[in-house]
Chain A
Amino acid sequence: MKLDFRKSLAAAAVMAGLALAAAPAFAARTAEEPTGPAKGVRPVSGEFTFEGPRGQFDRGQLQRGYKVYKEVCSACHSMSLVHFRDLGAPGGPFYDPKYKNPNDNPVVKALAADVQVADIDTTTGDPIKRKGTPADAFPSPFPNAIAAAASNGGATPPDQSTLAKAREGGARYIYSLLMGYREPPAGLKVGPGQHYNPWFPGDVGSYWTGKGPVPKGGFIAMAPPLADNRVTYDDHTKATVAQEAADVAAFLEWASDPHAEQRKQTGWAVMLYLAILAALTYASYRAIWKNVSH
């Protein structure tokens, strides 16, 4: 364990340097071919800024990722555990130290006000629609899972609140999947409404009549969701597919673990405290046992 930790420390130092030097270049990378089983995914040769024990989210990337989620993903995927206020909480994409209470953050308020939320009129009891507030959760595109499946060729798009931590490989997997769509190899029969993706877990053996070993990957019901200039970034970043995929993967990582930055910062303080305590305890141990042969 100790070794791993030292290694990750070194990796963190290297990464911090890389992140500074190579951040703009990062998004231009494309997914590599999967080499192992689909779960052990390491497609990004560079690193996300939030990886490793010292990693922090790139605030601009989270904001861009939110835009991709809002304009592309949220048409089909729910994210019911995330609230607008989370966007303005410490560590969130729109955190502003001026507004300790994220409900007061004007950006968050404006984003929330963009959506219509189902509610009940407090005087008449009639069902109504009202403007969203920061306290509201992200609205779901479908009233229930069956409706979602019915509109999506029979497959319910998974809720995205915990998606990044519910998939082995996390953000890297999501990035790879989004970048991984390709023409199926000759000899692979893809059913209607299905798409071949080498990163999607599955077994395509029974659809394979081509030469050589069965191709890795599976069939996914989701059509390739991203395209160049699918969104227009507010910070004028060029919206390539790779950029969009990296940004939304980062946003989903944040959404599934919104306190990750606080967790790591606390972790360093705890480690420092324990290191000092260990030194003191060891010194006490040596002092107390000084005259004891054992």
Chain B
Amino acid sequence: MSDHESTYVPKTGIERWLDERLPIIRFGVDYATIPTPRNLNYWWTFGGILALCLVIQIVTGIVLAMHYTASADHAFDSVERIMRDVNWGWAIRYVHANGASMFFLAVYIHMARGLYYGSYKAPREMIWLLGCVIFLLMMMTAFMGYVLPWGQMSFHGAVVITNLLGAIPVVGPGILTWIQGGFAVDEPTLKRFFSLHYLLPFVIFGVVFLHLWALHQSSQNNPVGVLIPKERRKQDTLPFHPYFTVKDGFALVLFLMLFSVFVFFMPNALGHADNYIPANPLQTPPHIVPEWYLLPFYAMLRGIPDKFGGVVVMFASIGLLFALPWLDTSKVRSMRFRPAMRWFFIILLVVYFFLGWCGAHLPDEPVIPGVDGPDLFDGNLNSYLWLTRFLTAYYFGYFLVITPWMGLRETPLPVPEYVSSPVLSHDEKNG
């Protein structure tokens, strides 16, 4: 709502003085009163929740960095010292560690909302692209953060993931040595990961600012998915404050309750026990797994027989998200009015969940225990390897085939003209 008129009137002399020189209060007030579609549902509260997640991670992270020692010899003990001897250190560290999981939970819901309601389509492509950049940065930050406690999973996870870069033809080995800071994951790797883990959240912060800028330039989407023309603004929007600050606030408190259950009552439930064993390069854990939020990508990586091929597929799975605004041929944004497409989307969510499930299992483990399926190429059909491949095929198929094809072939339901008339059109549809 770039053409949203400013309603700010500076009242005091100081405010008038400041407003002429640096209209920062005007900026804040205008932002808070921005016209917001009145029909936003609770799926729209995750943007605010994510902003809070980022702030929580940055604040707890800064305090942790005051006590943490980025050195292969002392990192593990310094994290334990934070948990044992720093006042409230256990709380700060558990909030930070579980905060990463909560951040990803919220971002996945936020992204699913964008997919379902078509928030990536014109004129909002830039919001979506910047969001994808944030998602990539988040994954990098989370991965490097997981390395810092220098436990067994930290170390061997770092070995596995950095070695992926070595699979790139020609330049791979050089890049690998450059990233690791030597010929193996060691002290220099830990030090640079710490440095970047501290830096990247501020980069995320900057991209979030651009994400919001783009959001307010092209206006918010809404569950009906139609644009709100200027003349309908009175009927169809409400000022962000107080209507949506209070609604977001309520959702935020509920989210914090979930967060607190993990932090205070099961702080290690989302982690891996092996990461409380100090890193030992000479002893590889029997089963190296990333944190839950990276498991779907890890599964895709392992599903491809060729290592470099796996890396390409893994990055392509995220690259598809960037291309999505141009892969989608449908004129209708919200899947509320695309009943067939809605099913494909629900299947996509299930597929993504089970990809994560596959990532947590060894590829040659049978999916149904005790059943010996037929062999196909390099694995048994009844194995997580093949399940992963089928699911990966659907994931890619959804974006590359289903999305463009359905947009051309489906017959969407009638879309209401304005956001405040969906109830009527709904009745028409049913009647």
Contacts and interface: CB of A to CB of B under 8 A. Distances in A.
A50 to B, nearest CB: 12
Given A1-B258, A259-B90, A285 B277 contact: no
Contacts of A264: 264-265
A167 B273 contact: yes
Given A274-B260, A285-B247, A162 B80 contact: yes
A165 B90 contact: no
Nearest to A82: B84
Binding site secondary structure of chain B: helix
B273 A292 contact: no
Contacts of A292: 38, 238, 243
A16 B311 CA distance: 51
B281 interface: no
B38 A278 contact: no
Interface stretch (A65-73, A115-123, A179-187, A265-273): A265-273
Interface in A113-169: 158-159, 161-162, 165-168
A278 B253 contact: yes
A275 B253 CA distance: 8
B425 interface: no
Contacts of B276: 162, 165-166, 256
B256 A274 contact: yes
B195 interface: no
A199 B420 CA distance: 63
A282 B250 contact: yes
Nearest to B76: A162
B431 interface: no
Nearest to A162: B276
Contacts of A271: 257, 260-261, 264
Contacts of B263: 267
- Of A53, A264, A270, most B-chain CB atoms within 10 Å: A270
B38 A294 contact: yes
Interface string B233-258: 00000100011001101100110111
B39 interface: yes
Nearest to A163: B276
B312 interface: no
B91 interface: yes
Contacts of B94: 263
A93 interface: no
A81 to B, nearest CB: 5
A256 B90 CA distance: 12
B26 to A, nearest CB: 24
Interface string B344-387: 00000000000000000000000000000000000000000000
B253 A294 contact: no
Nearest to B249: A281
B265 A8 contact: yes
Contacts of A259: 83-84, 90
Contacts of A166: 273-274, 276-277
B80 A81 contact: yes
Contacts of B286: 201
A270 B258 contact: no
Nearest to B253: A278
A258 interface: yes
A165 B80 CA distance: 12
B395 to A, nearest CB: 26
A200 to B, nearest CB: 13
A289 B90 CA distance: 40
A198 B254 CA distance: 43
B223 to A, nearest CB: 11
Contacts of B256: 274
B13 to A, nearest CB: 33
A278 B264 contact: no
Nearest to B238: A292
B268 interface: yes
Nearest to A263: B264
B265 A267 contact: yes
Nearest to A158: B277
Interface string A249-265: 00000001011001110
Contacts of A258: 84
B91 A263 contact: yes
Contacts of B38: 292, 294
Contact of A285 (B246, B258, B260): B246
A277 interface: yes
B38 to A, nearest CB: 5
A201 B287 CA distance: 12
B260 A275 contact: no
A86 interface: yes
A284 B243 CA distance: 10
Nearest to B275: A166
Contact of A278 (B257, B273, B420): B257
B265 A161 contact: no
Given A1-B261, A288-B242, A165 B250 contact: no
B19 to A, nearest CB: 28
Contacts of B249: 281, 284-285
B77 interface: yes
Interface in B76-129: 77, 80-81, 83-84, 90-91, 94
A294 B422 CA distance: 10
A86 B268 contact: no
Contact of B250 (A5, A86, A256, A278): A278
Nearest to B94: A263
Nearest to B276: A166
A275 B243 CA distance: 21
A88 to B, nearest CB: 14
A86 B90 CA distance: 15
B254 A263 contact: no
A246 B264 CA distance: 24
Interface string A1-32: 11001001000000000000000000000000
Given A8-B265, A201-B286, A277-B253, A165 B273 contact: yes
Nearest to B105: A1
Interface in B258-296: 258, 260-261, 263-265, 267-268, 273-274, 276-278, 286
5 contacts: A166-B276, A166-B277, A259-B83, A267-B260, A285-B247
Given A267-B265, A274-B257, A284-B249, 11 more contacts: A165-B276, A259-B83, A267-B264, A271-B257, A271-B261, A271-B264, A278-B254, A278-B257, A284-B246, A292-B238, A294-B39
